[in-house]
Amino acid sequence: MAQLAALHAPAQLEIVLISADRARTVAQRREEWGWLGWLPHVRPAHGQDCRLLLAYDRDQAAARTGELTRRLDAGPLGADWAAADPSRVREAAAAHTGPRTLLVVDGDPGTAALRDLTGRLASHGPAAGIHVLVLAETPPATPASPLAETYEAACAAAPAFRDCGAAALLSGDVATAVRTFAVAGGRPCPPGTTATADAVSAAWAERFARALAPLKAEPAGGKPQRPAAAALPAAARLLDELGLARATPASLMARWAEATEQGQGVGGLVELVLGSGQAGPVGAELVHDGPHLLVTGPAGSGRTELLRSVAASLAAAARPDRLGLVLVDGAGGERGDGLAPAAELPHASAHLVAADPVRMREFAQALGAELKRRAELLEGVPFAEWHARREVSDRMVAPRRPAPGEQLGGDPDQPRTGTLRLRASAVRTEPAPGPGPLPRLVVLVDDYDALVAPALGSAGRPAAGSVVRALEAVARDGAALGVHLVASTARPDLTADTELVRGNPLRVELEPPDRPGPGRGRLHGAGGRPVPFQGGRVTGRIPRTATLRPTVVPLEWDRMGDPPARRPVRELGNGPTDLALLASALDRASHLVSAVPVLFPAAP
């Protein structure tokens, strides 16, 4: 294990220990494995809910095996990895290129379920880069002892021993002789190789581990591949998932500048973050994955909060002069504030509450006119291609014509001598004429079903049809015009015949609020597996950071595998929400970069 730790960086190899065999006391196991806790390879780098990847009791062992089996579920073998044949396991193991994991199982892990899981990890784990080292204590043996009997005794002490492909037997008066041999079909294949063990003492191991302790699991040349090992959190904060825990104008301008350098200008991508997943933030991209997004879920599942998070995520990713938001509350304000908090974002160009028929008809006419205006400007050219052509035309320049009395040649009063003399003069360049920039537009509609089938007596019922026709036009023609639709519905049966559902491959399904809480859902893309996530909350009060002070706790190796006891982060009862904090920072950042928000309806 010391050789593995010395030859592989913490980002390339993680070490997991399961030492829950009750044949020895906890104090004995701590004394034998305490040195391992200093290694940086046992620190959780993939979202595991523990301080160190150690297991000294059965609960911790269940947590460690659960993390590894979730990684296998997300691996190339899929959720049915336990039924995969050995040939598929070998092919997947040969193709694995990411970080690897060494699982050390010291003795019997405890329950029958843990014995079965560790055995399956030993046989199928290499498909996801998981390799198992099993230690089993048997009665004393000599080099002349029957190998089969000793091997069976080891399998009885640690059932996962039988699923390993190779084995080693320590024997002799002081266990210095080691005999290695291959295993096929659960049976040893002698004769193998005999050598003298190059063992080290516990004191040497602790000195070695303490020397490596300052290292961090961060590669020098890029980001490590992070396998999905973490369970979904019970709650998530959107600003943390966006990397904006401290939302400042400087951090937002840096994000906008980075997006511009990567070619995500006005005609570029439309990326959004929904929340926290098993391997980090979960999001989508509307241009290639969408072009639209449909959110479904029952009452109380967090649909409105997710739309607010989508609006905040879009605003944080693009300048307000390159992306505009149009907000529509289809329920007419009957379900609380709706999308009103998101109207504080500088990107929000309009906010319609479907309760006034006059305003609803004006909105439908304005949205239809905007689609028509964009169609006339683009003239059948796709939105991204039109912007690419315009960027080329902007780089074309025309020289200024010489003013009266100026000559590009010499003085007209002087005789020509055959030598061309150029007068130094400033040459002004002018961009080629053309229409102004055409930003992308995202229409967010909450309670789309309330517009498609308004309730009897609803104030907006007379004009709901006109708004739905305008939204249907967005769903049908908006992709080519740079207009995207994000809508939520509590009654998928009412919106099943709409254009949004018929032509949209990107959707989010939220679970009922009692499993386990609001915001839990799955993202379904085009041709991919559903991605579970916990929606990022954006309307919670900013946390009271003054309570997060440094603390000192005793170092107990046997408790390092437990989930860390976190202090509850209390929200400021009268402080601003995360959305208000983000809106204020966005407004200041937009003024600093002179970004004029998108107008809707557009100026004539």
Q: How is 282-308 classified by DSSP, letter by letter?
A: EEEEHHHH-S-EEEE--TTSSHHHHHH
* Residue-averaged pLDDT of the chain: 81
Token pair 């405890």: residue: 110
Q: Give 575's pLDDT tier (boundaries 50, 70, 90).
A: low
Cβ atoms within 10 A of the Cβ of 402, count? 12
Q: Give 597's pLDDT tier (boundaries 50, 70, 90).
A: confident
| CB 141, CB 171: distance < 8 Å | yes
In one letter, which amino acid is 77? L
What would the two tokens of residue 309 be?
């998070």
Q: Tell me how long the chain is.
A: 604
List CB contacts of 131: < 8 A, sequence separation 6 or more: 100, 101, 102, 103, 125
Query: What are the pLDDT digits (tens) for 407-451?
Result: 444 444 444 333 333 333 333 333 333 445 688 899 999 989 889
Per-residue pLDDT, 220: 45
Query: What are the pLDDT digits (tens) for 250-260?
Result: 888 888 888 77
The stretch 493-521 carries a mean pLDDT of 83
397, β-bridge pairs? 431
Query: What are the pLDDT digits (tens) for 197-247?
Result: 888 898 999 999 999 999 876 654 444 444 444 577 878 888 888 888 778
My answer on whether omega of the bond before 516 falls inside 30° of 0, hence cis, is: yes
Residues 459 and 358: their CA atoms lie apart, in Å, by: 11
DSSP string covering 16-61, please? EEE---TTS-HHHHHHHHGGGGGSGGGS--S--SSSSSEESSHHHH
Per-residue pLDDT, 435: 41
Percentage with pLDDT > 70 across the chain = 83
Of the given ranges (12-21, 380-389, 413-422), which has the lowest mean pLDDT? 413-422
**How does 157-193 read in b/e, with b if 16+ C-beta sit within 10 Å?**
bbbbbbbbeebebbbeeeeebbbebebeeeebeeebe
What is the CB-side half-sphere exposure of residue 129 using CA atoms within 13 A? 19
What's the angle, vertex CA 436, arms to CA 432 and CA 437, rounded to 5? Answer: 115
Prediction pTM value: 0.65
In terms of phi and psi (left: phi > 0; alpha: psi -120 to 50; beta: otherwise), the region of 185 is left
The stretch 26-31 carries a mean pLDDT of 91
What would the two tokens of residue 582 be?
């983000």
